[in-house]
Amino acid sequence: MKQLIYNKRFFVLIISIALLGSLLGYYFLRNNDSLGDFYQNSSLNAFLSNVEELFQVHRENEIIKEKLASSEQISANVKLVEKENRELSNLNQALQDYEQFKPEASTVIGRNDRIEGKWYESIIINKGSNDGIKEGLPVMTAEGLVGRVSNAEENIAQVRLLTSAERTSLVSTNIKGKEEAFGLIQDFDKENQALLLQKLKNNVDITTGEEVVTSPSSEVFPPGIPIGEVMEVESDPYGLTKTARVKPKANFYDMEFVIVLTETE
C-alpha cells in the first residue's frame, strides 16, 4: 500500500514538472524567444538535467527493489531446503535407532484445522493397513513421542496426539534413570505449550531439566522413548502428589514427518 502511494506521488510530481516545462516553453514562444535560447538558458538546463536524474534514480530504485525481492525469496528457499534436510537427516537416524521396532516413516498429510481448538487433537498420515499400520501403535517424530494410531484405513491412518483432550491419550512415564518417579501424561497446557505429568509421588525428588521418557510398565509404548524435559514442578494442595510441566521434545504445532513403530514387543 505504501509503495502504491509512493508511486502515485512520484508520477504526480513528474506530470507537474512536465506541465511546468510546457508553460515555460509557451511563455518563451509567445514572447518571440527562440527555442534555442529557451534550451540554452543555464537555469533551465540545470532544471531539465535534474528532472532526467530524477527519472534515472527512480528507475534504479525499482531495479534494486526487484533484486532485493528476488534475493529474499532465494534466501527463504535456501532456509526451507536446509530445514527439510535437517529433518530428513534426523528422521534417518531415528529409523536406525528404533530399527528393532520395525519403524515405518510417513508424512503428515492432514490436520483438523477447520474447527477452533482442534489443531492439537490429531493428524492424518499417508500410511495405512497396507503398510502394517494398525490401531494402537506408537507414533513419534525424530525428536520424541507424539501419540498413537487411533484409526487405520488401507492407505491412510489417524494419529491421536498426546496433546489431545481425550483421555485415550494417557501415557505411562517416568523420569529417565528414576523408575520410582512414575507418572501419567494426562493433559496439555496450551497457554504454556506444556504436557502435564501428573500423579507423581510427592516424596520423589524431581528437578527442572530432567528428561521424561515412556515407562517400562507401559503396555502401549516401548520403554525409553523421549517425551520432553521438566519445566517446573508443583505439589497438590494436600501434599500427596506432584505435577510437572513438561516441554515436549517434538514440535506438536508443526509436524511434517513421523515414524510409526509397527512392532512394540
Q: For the segment 85-108, what is each residue's pLDDT rounded down to a tens digit?
A: 888 889 999 999 999 999 999 999
Which grid coordinates are listed for 41?
538558458
> What is the structure's pLDDT at 54?
66
> What is the structure's pLDDT at 10?
54
Which grid coordinates are listed for 196?
502435564
Segment 114-123 mean pLDDT: 80
From 195, 174, 200, select the one nearest 185 (Cα to Cα).
195
Q: Which helix (H) or strand (E) holds 179?
A: strand 178-189
> What is the structure's pLDDT at 41?
52
pTM of the model: 0.71
Question: What letter would DSSP give residue 6?
Answer: H
Between 206 and 85, residue with greater pLDDT: 206
Segment 127-149 mean pLDDT: 96
Q: How confident is the model at residue 65 (pLDDT cuts 50, 70, 90)?
A: confident
Q: Name all domains of the chain by residue range, CATH numbers in brackets.
A: 2-91 (no CATH), 103-165+254-261 (2.40.10.340), 168-248 (2.40.10.350)
Which grid coordinates are listed for 176?
529417565
